[in-house]
Amino acid sequence: MQIINTILYIVVIGYLVYLAGSWLYYFIKGRQINGALSGEEFESTMRKAQIIDLREKNTFDAKHILGARNLPYTQLKYKEDELRPDLPVYLYEDRKSVSIRAAVKLQKKGFTDIKWLDERFSDWEGKTKKTNKL
């Protein structure tokens, strides 16, 4: 029984170290990319950018930033070729960490002008749109 407890303890500690390391990695990468924008900055500079909503389709359809296109994070690696690398890419999601992860992926693919909403989409006060499906 003591061996099982020891193994379980090691697994839990290992998982916690992995989570902390992952968070630290993306925190540092986000600082290096330097793409965080407040809601006001995001809205005032987004006119010439590709605005990408990283949430799943059902949440996108419920409400999204006017002019945004839905490209769920789970599909990003399959559909990143739909984005133009010569235009700025503005990302948003309900969790900033997802936007930073997407920014890191896009940067590895050669995108250079990547920004993300530094707050939750639920806090967005700009123009929105609902896609009604009947």
- Residue ranges of the domains in the chain? 1-34, 35-129
Q: 80: burial class by Cβ within 10 Å (0-12, 13-18, 19+)?
A: middle
Determine the Cα angle at 36 with ends 127 and 130, to 5°: 25
Q: Which residues pair with 122 in a beta bridge?
A: none
Distance CA 10, CA 15 (A): 9
- pLDDT tens digits, residue range 23-53? 888 888 878 888 899 999 999 999 989 999 9
Contact 82, 71 (CB under 8 A): yes
Distance CA 132, CA 93 (A): 20
pTM for the structure as a whole: 0.82
Total count of residues recorded for the chain: 134
134 pLDDT higher than 80: no
- pLDDT tens digits, residue range 92-104? 999 888 999 999 9
Token pair, residue 109, equals 């693919």
Tell me, which fold does domain 35-129 have in CATH? Oxidized Rhodanese; domain 1 (3.40.250)
